[in-house]
Structure 1
Amino acid sequence: MGRLEEEILLQMVNDFIELGSSPTRDTNTTTTVTPDHDDHTKCYILQEIVESRNGVESRVVESVLKHMRDKMECDEKSCGGLKKWLIKRLRMDGFSASLCHSSWPTTLSCPGGAYEYIEVVVVEEAKQQRGIIDIDFKSQFEVARPTPSYKRLLQILPQIFVGEEDKLRRTLSILCSEAKCSLTQNGLHIPPWRTATYMRFKWLSSTQISTITIQTCC
């Protein structure tokens, strides 16, 4: 699927969410949009996003999965945690990996918070590319009493995220919208830590991000 086609499908999803879950007919066409069709479209788009990889991402994914399969062989206490352990292994593979700590203040629309993830910077063809690695990505999207539609999206979502910021933004766009719908349909309050703004701050906060140096310990 091309990027333009993906954006068109994503806009279809957003339009459907804004219009509600009832069947809708375009006055200019004979196509009826139903909840099942919308659900299939969102799953299709999300799968295309999470499975798409450029050359750099493919190499990073291969390295991450290789080491995570052997993670139980490392004494996490002596390594200072699983993230730091993985960073050391990525560096051994030649990647410029660092532990990033994001934090943001409380505002009227969003509570303050803090989060940690791994950053990988790769220079290829004189162009610097920043990748994000989160080894506990899937659990960040868990909600109470998820709808079948949201469950299907979570099944597609990988436990470990590896990708550039644009890939993460598109993933968040779909997941946060559907999480909101899932909670609303069940008559549940949307927790502040599950809003789209809060979720974006975790990985994409541009105000307070610091890179933590990892010392070799094992």
Structure 2
Amino acid sequence: MGGTTMGGRVTRFLSSRRRVKTLEFSYVVEQPQHETSCVVGDVEFEFLDDANIYSACSSDDSNEIELDQHHDDDQDNDDDTCNLEDNRTFWDNQHQILQANVCRTSSLESRIRHATKEALQEIQSEESVCGCGREMAAATSCRSCLMREVSRRLQKAGFDSAICKTKWRSSPDIPSGEHKFLDVIDTTSSKKGEVIRVMIELNFRAEFEMARGSEDYNRLVRRLPEVFVGKVERLTNLIKILCMAAKRCMKEKKMHMGPWRKHRYMQAKWLGPCERNTSTTPLLSSSSSMGYSQQSHRIIPKPKPRASMLTVDLLDKLSTMHCTAVEVL
């Protein structure tokens, strides 16, 4: 869709349950990929450089990464005494698999990633004011307004972008919750009837950070981009890798793993059924020609007078009542 409409549509998006196949890389990555960053407000948004992505990765799609598809958060191995060599092998493998997934990209993902990067830079340069009524100095301080503005600019660039909201109930394994993120639906594939969904998470790395994470785990998380733009299967693999790493980290430190770190919880965040809302509202620009301040744009409705039914009834009858004065001795 080329333009932005004030009245968008809300649809339900059901995730597919098919098994996702990805790529296997036999090489060992010696150095992390270079990242380019753009600063929006007080938040640093980092993107993987597409040029480095293409140079580091092969285009062969025939192999498969051996992820533990039957992995369960509640299935703990009996061999709790893992030696240092086993741990080192595990973390080295996780780094290789993570790098193989992060550096993969397609022309569609690259175009959406570039448009998202430009949108964030434009929002920062225009000094947009938060339009949700909260006391925010800038739109980048408010996640909801930032997502809405990025989605609006992606729509303007010709992408079918929307704000997605997942919501799930509590279970014996995980607590209830909800999460919002962006996505782009593309139906221009050469394959008839194929629908490609590209996920956009503006705060991806922070979703996996742990205050008490081990050095190996934190080093793995630091290789994630701050802003994730990628297909569903790529996100599925990254969630799997990070959740397995979080479980191993907690096991090494002999700490309990919170339910919000479990694989099922992370899957519910991005991969569960969601509502897609294409409605966007432009943010208020502090540099507009009208020169209004943030307070000038906020409309405070006049409070309505409140009265009970008894008060209204008495006011109607007092004008017609004739009472005789009585002197009290």
TM-score when scaled to structure 2?
0.57
1:22: how far off? 2.4
Percent identity reads 26
Which segments of structure 1 move beyond 3 Å, counting only runs of 4 or more?
1-6, 17-21
Q: Does 1:116 align with 2:180?
A: yes
Q: Which residue matches 2:207?
A: 140
Q: Which residue matches 1:157?
A: 224
Q: Does 1:69 align with 2:126?
A: no
Match of 2:162 among 98, 116, 131: 98
Rounded to whole Å, the distance in 1 between the matches of 2:63 and 2:129 is 44
Rounded to whole Å, the distance in 2 between the matches of 1:97 and 1:34 is 44
In structure 1, list runs of 5 or more residues that go unmatched.
Answer: 24-32
Root-mean-square deviation over aligned CA pairs: 2.2
Q: Does 1:87 align with 2:151?
A: yes
Q: Which residue matches 1:195?
A: 262
Alpha-carbon distance change, 176 to 117 in structure 1, aligned in 2, over 3 angstroms = same
In structure 2, list runs of 5 or more residues that go unmatched.
Answer: 1-24, 26-59, 132-138, 284-329
Alpha-carbon distance change, 172 to 130 in structure 1, aligned in 2, over 3 angstroms = same
Q: Does 1:176 align with 2:249?
A: no
- What secondary structure does 1:102 align onto? strand
1:74: how far off? 4.2
- Equivalent residue letter for 1:197: R
1:53-97 CA-partner distances (Å, limit 9, x unpaired) = 011111111111122233322424137610001001111111000
Q: Which residue matches 2:41?
A: none
Rounded to whole Å, the distance in 1 between the matches of 2:88 and 2:95 is 11
Q: Which residue matches 2:101?
A: 49
Alpha-carbon distance change, 157 to 215 in structure 1, aligned in 2, over 3 angstroms = closer
Answer with 65-74 or 105-114: which moved more: 65-74
When you count helix as a share of all residues, which structure comes out higher?
A: 1
- What secondary structure does 2:83 align onto? coil
Rounded to whole Å, the distance in 2 between the matches of 1:145 and 1:173 is 20
Q: Does 1:212 align with 2:277?
A: yes
1:149-177 CA-partner distances (Å, limit 9, x unpaired) = 11121111111111111111100111001
Q: Is the 8 A contact 1:145 1:186 kept in 2?
A: no
- Equivalent residue letter for 1:133: I
Alpha-carbon distance change, 63 to 77 in structure 1, aligned in 2, over 3 angstroms = same
- What secondary structure does 1:52 align onto? coil
- Equivalent residue letter for 2:185: V
Q: Is the 8 A contact 2:183 2:199 kept in 1?
A: yes
Bigger radius of gyration among the two: 2
Q: Does 1:60 align with 2:112?
A: yes
- Equivalent residue letter for 1:60: I
Q: Is the 8 A contact 2:94 2:245 kept in 1?
A: no
Give the number of aligned pairs.
Answer: 202
TM-score when scaled to structure 1?
0.83
Q: Is the 8 A contact 2:209 2:218 kept in 1?
A: no
Rounded to whole Å, the distance in 2 between the matches of 1:107 and 1:83 is 29
